[in-house]
Amino acid sequence: MFKFRWFCALIPVSFVWGSVNEPIRWEWETGYRNDRLHWHLQNPGDQSSLTYSERYRDLQFWENALTARVIHRDIAFFVRGSYGAFGKGSLKQKYADLNFTSDTPIFSWQPSSWNLGGWSYLGYSVDLTADRTYHVILIPMIGYGVDFEHLDREGIHTLTGIAASPTQSFSMTSMLPGSERMCWFGPLFGGLFIIQPGGRVQFEAGYAYHRLHLRFRSKKQFDASLYSMNGDLLSVSEQIEKIMVKDSANLAHTGWARMDYTLSKAWRIGLETQIKYFGSRILDAVIKNEATSERTKQKFKARWTAVSGAFMLSRTF
């Protein structure tokens, strides 16, 4: 509510400055993006008792984006869509609180991924330096954003260790069937500065604060075999679980900076860097046992960071 009042308060004040107009401009961006994702499960009521986690590092993408922006009589409109392809990175999968061992089995994976993103805003442009040779333009804004990521983890990994009883050993095989999907979406508030010092160069810097809904789906599976010290098989167990999270009131922050260079009246090139940070509250996750259809609840928390840099080519129409 405070941010919305701040946005509205700037509108009447801005009439003391000059009007801002820019024709519709289409921008194509291509560049590099690096993601990190960490999520875990924990027992309800005990935040120190983690049961499972996945930590993705250096998910590297080739990202392309298409943007349209226009300022007409001070009203700024912006819409952007992006696609990240060929995502490759590393995953550390960690089990804890297993009933057959006091060890903490850790498995390493090489996941592949792709992502989609889109956001749009409506803002009001305030020229803080009207009638001067240079311009500093402030645009408070309100909008909506969506970010989606799809992860595939193929393969089978096995490790052995000492069981809970020192006279026994275990063999554990981990699989990650299906894909992992998460989607963050919701309103955003923020603002940006456009600095036009004169000449061919223009600078832009901005920030957006997000209030997000989260939809998350994943699946994990392991087989465990217990052996006596003589190597005799004592028991075999299997666990296949589907993890589902659906909740709101999560937070995210986006910051960006860019530099444009004017080639002609219509054409520009530029460079842009952007960082996004998504963080969930401690949420309720529904854990469905695929073998028995039994549903239980655990606590879930996720953090996702995306850093990108891109080259930009744009043209007015």
Among the listed residues 221, 217, 219, the one whose alpha carbon sits nearest the alpha carbon of residue 175: 221
| Burial (Cβ within 10 Å: 0-12, 13-18, ≥19) of residue 229 | exposed
Task: Write down the residue that tokens 């875990």 correspond to.
Answer: 40
> Which pLDDT score, from 0 to 100, does residue 201 have?
96
- Cα 298 from Cα 116, distance rounded (Å): 28
**Low-confidence residues of the chain: pLDDT under 70:** 1-18, 46-48
pLDDT of residue 227: 92
Closest CA to 246 of 179, 184, 288: 184
Q: Is the overall model pTM greater than 0.85, yes or no? A: yes
What local confidence, expressed as pLDDT, does residue 103 receive?
A: 86
Q: Give the pLDDT confidence score for residue 291 in this predicted structure.
A: 84
**Per 3-state DSSP, what percentage of the chain is helix, strand, and coil (rounded to 5)?**
5, 75, 20
What six digits make up the tokens of 221? 């599976």
Does domain 2-157+175-215+251-316 correspond to CATH entry 2.40.128.90? Answer: yes
Task: Please report the pLDDT score of residue 46 as a whole number.
Answer: 61
Length of the chain: 317
Do the beta carbons of residue 317 and residue 30 sit within 8 Å? no
Angstrom distance (rounded) from CA 274 to CA 306 = 8
> Cα-Cα-Cα-Cα dihedral of 54, 57, 62, 66, to 10°?
70
For residue 13, the model assigns a pLDDT of 43
Give the three-state DSSP class for 14: helix
Q: Where does residue 293 rank: exposed (0-12), middle (13-18), buried (19+ CB within 10 A)?
A: exposed
Alpha-carbon span 51 to 105, nearest angstrom = 11
